[in-house]
Chains A and B, each alone.
Chain A
Amino acid sequence: GAGVSQSPRYKVAKRGQDVALRCDPISGHVSLFWYQQALGQGPEFLTYFQNEAQLDKSGLPSDRFFAERPEGSVSTLKIQRTQQEDSAVYLCASSYQPTDTEAFFGQGTRLTVV
């Protein structure tokens, strides 16, 4: 596609519900990143994929967060048993090569847990 696409754009979840957020990177991009952006804050790193390999998941805040990219293209970020503190915008970014000096961001998914 022309850019990084994320869906849904908005998600309202009841506390305790599981959610799945999708990221479609730019076609052919090897690297994929997930960031969490709380209200009034800058993006915080969650996890990084190179193709299908999850090379860094040090930013995932708890074991309720899980990300996958099984075929090296589309990625899904799953949050189990959502809590209010999970409310944030989740941003996905991709770059063509790991050594690229720029990554392209999607519009994000705004998750609100009520």
Chain B
Amino acid sequence: AQSVTQPDIHITVSEGASLELRCNYSYGATPYLFWYVQSPGQGLQLLLKYFSGDTLVQGIKGFEAEFKRSQSSFNLRKPSVHWSDAAEYFCAVGAWGNNNDMRFGAGTRLTVKP
């Protein structure tokens, strides 16, 4: 069965600093991988997704993620964090569709210091 692990429950970075959020997955086949962001009181917004091809994926709001099959990882990065990036970030693995098998990690809460 597929699963997702986000090792960091909470991360604090200074505004302007770089960011990396970790995600490790377990999946039986070639995974579909996603990163979502959730601001307080809001639903989940898709940042980026990986299905195949180039292992470095660009997303919205200046985020990118790199798929590393050998490490079963899909870490999210941003070169320079803005105060508005403070939110909860969820990694997910699986596929939307008839056989719903999307699995979400427990999330990483990002705090941005001025």
Contact = CB atoms under 8 A, between A and B. Distances in A.
A83 interface: no
A101 B105 contact: no
Contacts of B103: 45
Contacts of B43: 4, 91, 93, 105-108
A48 B100 contact: yes
B31 interface: no
Interface string B1-26: 00010000000000000000000000
Interface string A1-24: 000100000000000000000000
B49 A42 contact: no
A72 to B, nearest CB: 16
Interface residues of B, number: 25
Contacts of A42: 4, 90, 92, 104-107
B100 A56 contact: yes
B96 A31 contact: yes
Contacts of A103: 96
B44 A43 contact: yes
Nearest to B44: A105
Contacts of B32: 101
Interface residues of A, number: 26
A44 B101 CA distance: 10
A43 B104 contact: yes
Interface in A61-114: 91, 93, 95, 98-103, 105-108
B28 interface: no
B96 A102 contact: yes
Contacts of A93: 43-44
Nearest to A50: B98
A45 B100 contact: yes
Given A91-B43, A95-B96, A108-B43, A45 B102 contact: yes
Interface of B: 4, 32, 36, 41-46, 49, 51, 90, 92, 95-100, 102-107
6 smallest CB-CB distances across A and B, nearest first, come from: A42-B104, A105-B43, A105-B44, A48-B100, A107-B43, A98-B97
Given A40-B107, A95-B96, A102-B46, 6 more contacts: A31-B97, A41-B107, A43-B90, A93-B43, A100-B96, A108-B43
